[in-house]
Amino acid sequence: MSEDVTDLTRGVYRRIYSGYITGRRISKLSLPAEAWFWRVQAKADDFGNARADPDLCKDETAGLRRNVTAKQISGWLREMADAELIQFYTVRGEPFLHIVNFEAAQPAGKNGKRMKRYPSPDESEGIQVNPDLSSASDNDNQDDNHNEDKSRGKSALVSRLFEFWKTEMNHPKAQLTSERKKRIEDRLKDSTVEEIETAIRGCKASDFHMGREPGHAQVFDDIELICRKRSKLESFIAMAPRQTNGKPKRTETVREKMIRESCERCFGTGTDTTDPKGAKHCDHGNAVSERSGEIIESSAGGSEARVS
C-alpha cells in the first residue's frame, strides 16, 4: 500500500496502558461500565470527544452488541463521569463528552495531525457535571436504571471479595452479614480490589492474627476487621508475603522455625549435609510435609496443622 494512503479499514489506533489495571478511577466503575469505556475511547475522535446522547452513542459503540440498550449506556456514561474519566458538555443544545487527559495518552497521527469529528469543550456553553442525558426513548426511569446498574456492579465486587476471603481463610460456611458488607463497601470507596485481596493475604500470613503464636490461640481473621478502616487495611497489606510467580510466597510459622532451628541435621540452615550422597534440602526428620504445607508428627513429639 502506498505510504500516502491512510488505512482505516481496521479502525483508528488507540493506546491502552497497563497502569489502567490498578487505576483508582477506572476501578470505581462496574465491569459493564469499564467495558463500555474502552468502546467509547475507541470511537472518540483524536481529541477525545464523542457523542453523549445515549441513542447516538449506542449507534456508534454497540456494534454487534444488539441487546444493549440506550438506558444501559446512559447509566454507564454517568458512572464514567462520577469517576472523573469523562466530562459532559453541550454545543448548541447537543450533548457531547470529553475523555479526560485523552490527548496526553493518545498520540497524533504520523503526520502529527489529529482528526476532529465533534465540537470541542471550548466551543460549549460550559462543562456539565451531571447533565440530563435522556433522549426521547429514555425519559422514563433513567435515574432508577443508573442506580440499578451501579448497585449491581458494587454488589458483584463485594461478593467477589467476600468469596475470596472465605476461600483464603477457610471459612466455607461464613455468611455475608450486613456489618461485613458495609465494611467492604466502605473500603471500596478508597481502596482497589487488589489492595483488599492483598490485605486478606497479609492477615493470613500473620501468626498473631491467625492464632499461631505460642500461648495465643485466638484468631482475628474476620474480613470486618481487615476492612474496618483504611489505615487497618494498609497495615495488613504490609504483612502480605511477596508474590512469587503470581502466587504468594509461603510464610514460615513459628513452630516450623523452632523445628528448623533445633534440627541436628541442618542446624537451622535448611540444608542437610549428613547424607553421604551430598547436600540436600533438609526435611527436619519429616517434621514438615512440603507437599501440603502441613506440619505433621515430628520426632520431637507433638503436632500442629496448618493449611498453606
**pLDDT for position 135:** 44
Nearest to 299 by CA among 285, 288, 289: 285
> How many degrees, rounded to 5, is the angle at CA 263 between CA 261 and CA 266?
90
Query: For 3, what's the count of Cα atoms within 13 Å in the CB-facing half-sphere?
Result: 2
The tens-digit pLDDT sequence of the chain (308 residues) is 455 555 555 666 788 877 778 888 889 999 999 999 999 998 899 899 999 999 999 999 998 998 999 999 999 999 999 999 999 988 888 899 999 988 888 877 767 778 888 998 888 755 554 444 444 344 445 555 555 555 666 788 888 899 999 999 999 999 999 999 999 999 998 988 889 999 999 999 999 999 988 888 899 999 999 999 999 999 999 998 876 555 555 555 666 667 777 776 666 666 665 666 655 666 666 544 333 343 333 333 333 433 33
Q: In this structure, are residues 118 and 49 in contact, taking their beta carbons and an 8 Å threshold?
A: yes
**pLDDT for position 7:** 56
Residues in the chain: 308
DSSP bridge partners of 288: 295
Residue 202: what residue type?
A: G
3-state secondary structure of 86: strand
3-state secondary structure of 74: helix
Q: Helix H segments across the chain?
A: 31-43, 54-61, 70-82, 102-105, 142-169, 178-188, 193-205, 223-226, 230-239, 254-261
